[in-house]
Amino acid sequence: MKTVSVAEAIKADGLRIVIVQAMPSPWGVAAKAMIEHKSLDYVCAYQIPMSDNPELLAWAGTNSAPVVAWNDEPPINRWEDILLLLERLVPDPRLVPENMAERIEVFGICREICGEVGFGWNRRIDLARPPAGEEPGPFAQKYNYRHTEAAVANERVVALMAELAARLKKQKENGSDYLVGKTVTAADFYWAAFSNLVSLQPAEEMPVNPDARPMFQNTPAEITAAIEPVLMTHRDYIMRTHYKLPVEL
């Protein structure tokens, strides 16, 4: 992986991605893995956690990552826009099936993992949850933390994991190692990355900033109890088969 500064990424041609430095931020982890899966040439720059990142904000309209840019096209940061760009740049190997029924399944699963009120969104709410009696801190405020949403965040996470586990078991019965169809899709890449928000991979595979690792390992008991083995078996298979390990952060 070639790394550059944000300023250099802004000026560069070709494909650029900005990811969160030394953090298992799954939106960026998955996007970079899918870029590598398609054997695209790219350069990587870093968003600094809990910093203003003014250059990134001025360029992309956000100081969060991931941000992806292609040549002189405007930078993008929404998961579905990034996915569709990658499919346009290199249609094969596909991450979104041509078959319409499977395409709908992939986008539905990805939406529930990556989108607002989805798996990652709810885990982020829980990570930002302030101690009882305290006001939400800067991280929580950045993502519009609301107590009403936090009250059901873990329940939503458990519900999605149950659905994914049931799907994986059914797929296995049908002779497939993947969430949809018979080949790897974006849904598999996203689950593999986002699973780290409930069960963080070891440092030799996911070399997170050691100071931040305890935060990501502090998963609520009701979520840990709901992690069926098939979910982590699938994560490990996708990581070892379709990602580059250790993941470069």
Query: Domain of 205: which CATH number?
Result: 1.20.1050
- Report the share of the chain in percent with pLDDT over 90: 89
Cα-based distances in Å from 90 to 32, 34, 84, 240: 14, 11, 10, 22
The residue among 35 and 134 whose pLDDT is bigger is 35
Do 66 and 133 lie in one domain? The reply is no
User: In the sheet that 42-47 helps form, which strands lie side by side, from edge to edge?
Assistant: 2-3, 42-47, 15-20, 67-70
Do 163 and 207 lie in one domain? The reply is yes
Average pLDDT over residues 125-139: 76
Residue 59 has pLDDT above 90, yes or no: yes
Residue 127 has pLDDT above 90, yes or no: no
pLDDT digits (tens, 9 = 90+) for 11-53: 999 999 999 999 999 999 999 999 999 999 999 999 999 899 9
- Report residue 146's pLDDT band, with 50, 70 and 90 as the boundaries: confident
- Name residues whose C-beta falls within 8 Å of residue 241's C-beta, 6 or more positions apart in sequence: 184
CATH for 80: 3.40.30.10
Last residue of a domain, one of 31, 58, 89: 89
SS3 13: coil
Model pLDDT, residue 140: 65
Model pLDDT, residue 33: 98
Residue 139 has pLDDT above 90, yes or no: no
- Report residue 242's pLDDT band, with 50, 70 and 90 as the boundaries: very high
Question: Does residue 247 fall inside a structural domain?
Answer: no
Model pLDDT, residue 148: 83
- Report residue 116's pLDDT band, with 50, 70 and 90 as the boundaries: very high
Radius of gyration (Cα) for the chain, nearest Å?
Answer: 18
Q: Residue 37: which domain range?
A: 2-89
Question: Does residue 248 fall inside a structural domain?
Answer: no
Residues in the chain, overall count: 249
Task: Report the alpha-carbon angle 106-111-112, nearest 5.
Answer: 105
Last residue of a domain, one of 44, 66, 89: 89
Other C-beta atoms closer than 10 Å to the C-beta of 34 total 24
Residue 213 has pLDDT above 80, yes or no: yes
SS3 19: strand
The residue whose two tokens read 């300023």 is 7
Do 120 and 165 lie in one domain? The reply is yes
Model pLDDT, residue 50: 87
Average pLDDT over residues 198-216: 97
Residue 228 has pLDDT above 90, yes or no: yes
Alpha carbon distance, N-terminus to C-terminus of the chain? 10
Do 132 and 178 lie in one domain? The reply is yes
Other C-beta atoms closer than 10 Å to the C-beta of 97 total 20
Last residue of a domain, one of 89, 124, 140: 89
Do 172 and 237 lie in one domain? The reply is yes
The residue whose two tokens read 């931040």 is 212
- Report residue 144's pLDDT band, with 50, 70 and 90 as the boundaries: confident
Alpha helices in 74-178 (DSSP H): 79-89, 100-114, 119-127, 138-142, 147-173
- Average pLDDT, whole number, for the chain? 95
Model pLDDT, residue 133: 67
